[in-house]
Structure 1
Amino acid sequence: MARVVFMGTPEFGLPSLEALHAHHQVVTVITQPDRGRGRGRQVSYSPVKRAAMALGLPVWQPPTLKTPEALERLREIGADAYVTAAIGLLVPPDVLALPPHGCLNVHASLLPRWRGAAPINAAILHGDAESGVTLMQTEEGLDTGPILAQVRCAVRADDTAESLGERLSHLGAELLTEVLPHWLSGLITPRPQPKEGVTLAPRLRKEDGLIDWQQPAAHIERMVRAYTPWPGAYTHYRGQLLKISRAGLYPEWKGTELPGQVVDLPDGRTAVATGQGILVLHEIQLAGKRALPTEAFCCGHSDFVGSQLGEAECTLPNLSG
């Protein structure tokens, strides 16, 4: 049974951790330090830490792996291989060189497309018809390592980053379960990534969620799904921050309203004019309030239809609810 160190932080890594625990000896789980969340800054464990504790696995939460102390501790732990899945920490070359079978990364895209921290969001935002998971060797470059195996997955028209991420996380765990034993036995020769088709998916920022109503409705609809659950797609209504939780398209619209203007559609639904087409609002949320179906929101805000969205100055929202 192979000795494996697992490194991960968000929900994406959970199926891979569980698969490793079922088939190998997970000697340590590395995840990011606990963070304060919410108004009270209450300490919150990462999803991987909670899962590791439930499985009875040792957890280590270094702020960085780039210190001599971290290197020495990993050397003392000893492992045949490292497996990472959205760890959110830089793994330096001297750490990568420690295990005899190297470090493998479960990456949520079909590399070389969407290298970086936000591949799931990027696939939805750019309207990709398919995504997938790549099991690759980790090297010093950003997701540039050789590929061991890949599995493809269709992106559904209603996928959010959350729903697509959940499917990809399970596909990644299945791929890891299938491939890792062959890798440890020396039966797999990795192939270099193609030089063509490289795209980057940088880490998301809160301000990425601010909607520009001059953009086409189709782009904004993808933005709503790509940024669910975080950072959310948001705008301004009467000086208040307003999150668009769910939205759709209305191809039949032929109006001439200005981008950002809220209108009633002939079928009774509420929508917002954009630079090209119109965005139907299914569910919206004022900062500090719960999300509501747009019909219910309009009952409490009679001036919503006819208002102009997006005119206020931006203050980053707290729309985690």
Structure 2
Amino acid sequence: MRIVFAGTPDFARLALEALLQAGHSIPLVLTQPDRPAGRGLKLTPSPVKQAALAANIPVAQPLSLRLNGAYAPEAAQAQALLESVQPDLMVVAAYGLILPAWTLALPRYGCLNIHASLLPRWRGAAPIQRAIEAGDKQTGITIMQMDEGLDTGDMLLRTELAITPEHNASRLHDELAQQGASAIVQAIELLEQGKLKAQQQPEAGVTYAAKLNKAEAPLDFALAASVLERRIRAFDPVPGATMRLPGLKDPVKVWRATVLSEKVQAEPGKIIQVSEQGIDVATAQGVLRLLEVQKAGGKRQAVAAFVQGWQLPAQN
């Protein structure tokens, strides 16, 4: 198999490294252009580019693959490069660019996508976070034959993973990245053996995982404590869940919380108790106990340490 790999973040890097370890020939890697990162905003190559260069694989970083768009000359160069490689297959994982029809049709076996959900649930940009936020009990990896729709292609292989109360988005991402790397190697092995069978996605159960938005960060205590606790885990590390505490100018980030069983007659958002065990906040249903928070410009702290430098002002 001559495989072109298209991906950008760490989730994709693991898959690229797994394919190389499995002995596949990867003559070209596509990834997003270098982006500013860190305090100095220095241009930094993507994790996939770093892995490709370490393996001496040529890298292309077009701004677009659309032949009729604003970056048509770059797309045409990418097309010529892909045609010269003559790939049997393209593997795509969190690439970040839309693949037009000419790209999907170019490889002999088309393009396979590593998608971090059990399709058709959570098509779209943020399947890991939305699964936690919704309270799903399981998720997984779907290896999909790509078409021109948004994650609508035929399913080729699925692997499942239980979501536990200990999962935040960061931890679940890392586990799914490992699972995705193993799944794509398995799928290609089955493809080579002629045993990879396509299954059309059912129409029932389709949901869309909308892109994360900073506007979602503030916690809305008019919601139930259980919903807020899931959001805190789902938005860790990005965009983070925030709230305002009395006496502090800037919102604090809330990184960990738990739901208490106590029922209280208090206005949602009212802090009902502060102790080393946590900061208890009334919600529309139940009490949310904050366990780990972070001041603006500070570090994450357990509440036991945080309350040593913060005291709840008198409330009406």
TM-score, length-scaled by structure 2: 0.91
Listed as ranges, the matches of 1:127-146 within 5 Å are 127-146=135-154
User: Residues 189-219 of structure 1, C-alpha deviation per residue, up to 9 Å, x if partnerless?
Assistant: 3111111110000211222222111111100
- What is the distance in 2 between the residues matched to 1:28 and 1:236? 48
Q: For residue 296 of structure 1, report the CA deviation from its aligned partner.
A: 1.3
Superposed displacement of residue 29, structure 1: 1.5
Instruction: Give the residue type in structure 2 aligned to 1:11.
Output: D
Is the partner of 1:290 in helix, strand or coil? coil
C-alpha distance in structure 1 between counterparts of 2:43 and 2:287, whole Å: 42
> Is 2:3 the partner of 1:7?
no
Q: Give the superposition deviation at 1:38.
A: 4.2
CA deviation after TM superposition for structure 1 residue 19, in Å:
1.3
Query: Counterpart in 2 of 1:78?
Result: 86
Post-superposition offset of 1:54: 2.5
Pairing 1:273–2:272 present: no
Residue by residue over 1:280-311, the C-alpha shift from the partner in whole angstroms, topping out at 9 and shown as x without a partner, is 1111012211111112111111236x669xxx
Match of 1:26 in 2: 26
Superposition RMSD in Å? 1.8
Does 1:204 pair with 2:212? Answer: yes
The residue aligned with 2:228 is 220
Q: Tell me the residue number matched to 2:50.
A: 50
| Aligned counterpart in structure 2 of residue 250 of structure 1, from 260, 271, 276 | 260
**Aligned pair partner of 1:161 in 156, 165, 169:** 169
Which whole-Å CA distance do the structure 1 matches of 2:243 and 2:59 have between them?
40
Q: Show the counterpart of 1:232.
A: 240
CA distance in 1 between counterparts of 2:237 and 2:3 reads 31
For the 8 Å contact 1:263–1:272, the answer to whether it is kept is yes
Instruction: Note the alpha carbon deviations across 1:88-129, whole angstroms, 9 max, x for none.
Output: 111111111110010000101000000001101011000000
SS of residue in 1 equivalent to 2:308 = helix
- Gapped regions of structure 2 (runs ≥ 5): 67-74
User: Residue type of the partner of 2:243?
Assistant: T
What amino acid is aligned across from residue 10 of structure 1 in structure 2? P
In 1, Cα distance between equivalents of 2:132 and 2:277: 28
Aligned to 2:36: 36
In the TM superposition, what whole-angstrom CA distance separates every residue of 1:248-279 from its partner, at most 9, and x where no partner exists?
1111x222222122232688532211111111
The size of the alignment, in residue pairs, is: 305
Corresponding residue number in structure 1 for 2:299: 290
Equivalent residues of 2:276, 2:307 under 8 A apart? no
Identity of aligned residues (%): 41
Structure 2 residue corresponding to 1:114, chosen from 108, 117, 122 = 122
Letter of the structure 2 residue corresponding to residue 275 of structure 1 = A
Identify the range of structure 1 (98-107 vs 31-40) with the bigger mean alpha-carbon deviation.
Answer: 31-40
- The structure-2 alpha-carbon separation of the partners of 1:70 and 1:94, relative to structure 1 and needing over 3 Å to count, comes to same
CA distance, structure 2, for counterparts of residue 170 and residue 127 of structure 1: 22
Name whichever of 128-137 and 9-18 sits farther off. 9-18
Question: Which SS does the other structure have where 1:263 is aligned?
Answer: strand
Query: Could you say which residue in structure 1 is the equivalent of 2:70?
Result: none
Please name the residue that 1:150 is paired with: 158
- Kept in 2, the 8 Å contact 1:101–1:184? The answer is no
Alpha-carbon distance in 2 for matches of 1:204, 1:268: 31
In structure 2, the residue matched to 1:191 is 199
Counterpart Cα distance in 1 of 2:303 and 2:275: 15
Q: Deviations over 1:24-74 (max 9, x none)?
A: 011112111111134432223222222222333222211111132322221
Q: Indicate conservation of the 8 Å contact 2:274/2:312, yes or no.
A: no
Of 107, 110, 125, the residue aligned with 2:133 is 125
Moved over 6 A (4+): none
Rate the CA distance shift 1:89–1:38 in 2: closer, same or farther, 3 A: same
Describe the shift of the 1:133–1:307 C-alpha distance in structure 2 as closer, same or farther (beyond 3 A): farther
